[in-house]
Amino acid sequence: MSAAPQSRATPWPAVPDDANALAANVWPDAADRDEHGVLRLGGIPATTLRERFGTPLYVLDEDEVRARARRTLAAFRTAAAAHDVQARVYYAGKAFLSTEVVHWVTDEGLAVDVCTGGELAVALAAGADPSRLGFHGNNKSVAELERAVAVGIGSIVIDSWIELERLAAIVERRDAQQAVLVRVNSGVHAETHDFLATAHEDQKFGFTLQDAAAAVARIRELDGLTFVGLHCHIGSQIFGTAGFRESAARVVELHAALLEGGDVPVLNLGGGFGIAYRPEDDPTPIEELATGIVEAVARECAVRGIPIPNLAFEPGRAIVGKAGVTLYEVGTTKPVEVDESFTRLYVSVDGGMSDNARPALYGAQYTARVASRTSDAEPALARVVGKHCESGDIVVDAEYLPGDVAPGDLLAVPATGAYCFSLASNYNYVPRPPVVALRGGEARVIVRGETVDDLLARDAGLTAPTEGNDMPVLSEGIETK
Ligand code: LLP
């Protein structure tokens, strides 16, 4: 199994033929340059977006999110239908969640997976049908579980013995009935290339395959819980089908054993389908993944002579990742002589690790282009950095940009739709940028940007602290913390 490369062998990419080119695999489908060379997103010049909304700016192409949601659903449904079973696709909200995004994906027929009370609150605020929500997480609080049961959430994925008993007590007290899945740790991990050698994983999620059987037996003893199936998620940003197929084989074995004790209608194989962040990345098309995974499940079921269960999947990044572009303005540039043969051009932009933590967290590699113009200047090896007080505040580690890139230029970083907005912080008291959605040639704010007032609003030295203010209430009945 291969995971996408998080770092490359040489510290720089190949010199491009054209440092203005927009590689089709990383930019939204509707990205191009107008007759002046200005980058257009969804038909709107990046310069117009800057004038209207400022920078940094998260731009999310709604048409592309919808198209990817449709394509992903069709891929899994078609693959499942070939074996006479059904597939449900949950959008993994952790990749990017706002009420608008919930509307788009549910309009397109997806269910939604949430993993905290906060994410649940957003999905409910968007009017999502609670019966089409799934709830994950390795440490759901009593309040979060209470809320989920109270609103009639479709399913809860149980992650531990303690949670099992916690939920059992809640449903008993409320005299409720709750559908649950059991999360298993199949021992296959995305970051492990030699997955066959991985016997037991040292991580926090789920039950081991051995313990899961006992957990299911316990659930089946309880009147208030209905066991519907196993859940397994092997990791994220995975290229190829090998890891999914191996994991499916292991999980189907347990699934088959559980059939001896009753129905097991569903198998949820999670998300993790990779996308291209750089032109050289080559993820497996979703149709191929869907077919490969479903065929693997079908084969494993056939070997054991059991019916194929209905299948569920939870893509996040694959739906929103490529639909997002972040626009920045260049503030300073600085050639830094690394050694006698090599100078690196540092290009500082007006955001950084607060709006995209992924390079700092995972060594993630991105690409960038000057958005406000094209240039014939000789390409220079650049490192795009943010404005935070850390040398690890890198947005794009290595990219050839036109050598005349200068203060005032707009810089665009593609493939930022997933896990950038959702991982954003206020480090150094930098306000988080707005999110603008593009559809049919129109742009509109779907999450407003933060102001300095927002940054000061929680400072109890300026606003009188309220009694008991240590448990902020997000909305009725949902407490996070
Ligand atoms: N289902 C479960 C149970 C998950 O834990 C996740 C991601 C997904 C689905 C969706 O995975 P996706 O299809 O988006 O790969 N912050 C990291 C990724 C963390 C993923 C956490 N779980 C990053 O920026 O790469």
pLDDT in tens, 238-276: 998 899 999 999 999 999 999 999 999 999 999 999 999
Instruction: Say whether pLDDT at 198 is over 50.
Output: no
Over the Cα atoms of the chain, what is R_g? Answer: 24
Check residue 188 and give its pLDDT.
84
Instruction: Say whether pLDDT at 194 is over 80.
Output: no
Check residue 195 and give its pLDDT.
39
Please list the residues that pair with 328 across neighbouring strands: 411
**In this structure, is the dihedral angle defined by the CA atoms of residues 423, 106, 266 and 87, taken in order, positive or negative?**
negative
pTM: 0.94
What is the mean predicted confidence (pLDDT) over 111-122?
Answer: 98
Report how far ligand 1's centroid is from the alpha carbon of 13 (Å): 27
Instruction: Say whether pLDDT at 117 is over 60.
Output: yes
Q: Give the nearest ligand 1 atom to 157 CA.
A: 3
pLDDT, mean over the chain? 92
Which one, of 329, 327, 298, lies nearest residue 311 by Cα? 298
Check residue 183 and give its pLDDT.
97
- Using CA positions, which residue lies closest to atom 21 of ligand 1? 236
Which residues participate in catalysis according to the annotation?
A: 389
Q: Is the bond preceding 379 in cis, omega lying within 30 degrees of 0?
A: no
Rounded (10°) angle between helices 161-174 and 142-151 = 50
Check residue 422 and give its pLDDT.
98
Instruction: Say whether pLDDT at 403 is over 90.
Output: yes
Which one of 236, 284, 353, 366 would you pick to mutate in the ligand 1 pocket, going by the greatest count of ligand atoms within 8 A of its CB?
236
Other Cβ atoms less than 10 A from the Cβ of 395: the count is 29
Check residue 82 and give its pLDDT.
98
Report how far ligand 1's centroid is from the alpha carbon of 361 (Å): 14
Check residue 190 and give its pLDDT.
62
Query: What are the structural domains of the chain?
Result: 32-61+322-454 (2.40.37.10), 111-318 (3.20.20.10)
Instruction: Say whether pLDDT at 469 is over 60.
Output: no
- Ligand 1 contacts CB of residue 88 (under 6 A): no
